[in-house]
Amino acid sequence: MTRRYFGTDGIRGTVGEKPMTAEFALRLASAAARVLAPNGGRAVIGKDTRVSGYMFESALEAGFVAAGMDVSLLGPLPTPGIAHMTHSLNADLGVVISASHNPFEDNGIKFFDRNGRKLSDELELQIEAFLEQPAITRPSEELGSASRVDTARSQYQWFALSTVPKEMRLDGVKIVLDCSHGAAYKVAPRVLSQLGADLVAIGCSPNGININKDCGSTQPALLQATVKGVGADLGIALDGDGDRLLMVDSDGNLLDGDHLLYLLAMHRKASGTLKGPVVGTLMSNLGLEVSLKAKGVEFYRANVGDRYVLEMLRAKGGELGGETSGHLLVLDKTTTGDGLVSALQVLSIVAETGKSLQELVADMPQYPQTMINVRTPSKVDLEAPAIQAGVAKLEAQLGDRGRVVLRASGTEPVVRVMVEGQDHDEVVGLAEELADVVRAVAAG
């Protein structure tokens, strides 16, 4: 069966439009309770800094309480912090209200199971099966209750610090931190300051509508300029819900998820602590694959989406994986992608080795790669003969010098056209050519 509402990272859309309405959120909570806690229990709800989070928080709370569940309200907290608190509080499920890197007009809802892990496709289908039914309301004596957890930030802060050596210090390291006016705006600066970093914090003044606006991991130009402007050693960019990480070296160069995954893998390889293969996605740069294999590290590609990277890591016995976007999985440290924890792992390597970010990624080439997001009015059949012929033509021209990847976004009406190869101009031209084919098919 095909999921109707759930995409690659929960349910997401424009606030006020189906499905992102308060009425839908209430029914969703009721459906989730039926599947994940049919006999009652506890739900944990956290959110990012979007103004619409208040509305969805109240609707979800009502749905869970009516279904007989107690609710712990965490307030603004990074997605991985909500995963941690779900497990820490022995809850039956966790809920994140966030549209991650999307603009403030959007919002989303995603779930964690009692272990702080994202739900399987099968569980999401079971939840969807109950969405067409009215929300349930138990008898008054069986209703749940709600309370706020005031210590959620401090608990997550101490968890994040526990993932690096106790003796680790960042005294004398000048860091620019961009929290994207998002969920990590309080906890991330506190953690880095506690480690002694000379910290310059930007993107830490959320007002409900400025999340991800001209800052954060999706708009890193401000961070790059600030790092160079203040003479920092490095920069850290998180996204709106704090599960993605990009970094900037002292020269203002951007290090994406591929660079960071390579850096982490190489350090573990050198120290003898690398377990299993490294897993990327179909969109991971070919330079990452070539460089890892040259160092004797197995590399596999999963479908795009951290849930699929996680599935492959479990199947292959690995601990390190991630996406170019900066959604990294370090499974011996946490259960889900965590921008702050991933940054701490990189910083611990910098502190231990005394090397700069430039030095740590110097031997990983990055192949020219062009991504074109083709926005479409409706779903496009990527198996259409014209599109398949276009892909075949490009693959024949590139041969073993590059790759072509065509995929529909799981979170927005966009077809992503990616072409990768050795020659930049050729890659750009081929990507534009295939994007035109997709636009023509979409236009009918």
Catalytic positions are 100
Structure letter (DSSP) for residue 400 = G
Amino acid at the residue 305: G
Q: Are the C-beta atoms of 223 and 215 separated by less than 8 Å?
A: yes
Amino acid at the residue 365: P
Amino acid at the residue 368: P
**Alpha-carbon distances of 199 from 177, 191, 231, 353, rounded to whole Å:** 7, 11, 12, 21
* Number of alpha carbons in the 13 Å side-chain half-sphere of residue 64: 27
Cα 333 from Cα 227, distance rounded (Å): 28
The pair of three-digit structure tokens given for residue 212, joined into one six-digit string: 């991800």
For the chain, the farthest-separated pair of C-alpha atoms sits apart, in whole angstroms, at 69
Q: What are phi and psi of 264, to 5 degrees?
A: -65, -45
Cα 15 from Cα 162, distance rounded (Å): 37
- Tally Cβ neighbours within 10 Å of residue 271: 10
**Alpha-carbon distances of 384 from 140, 169, 403, 413, 438, rounded to whole Å:** 55, 56, 20, 17, 9
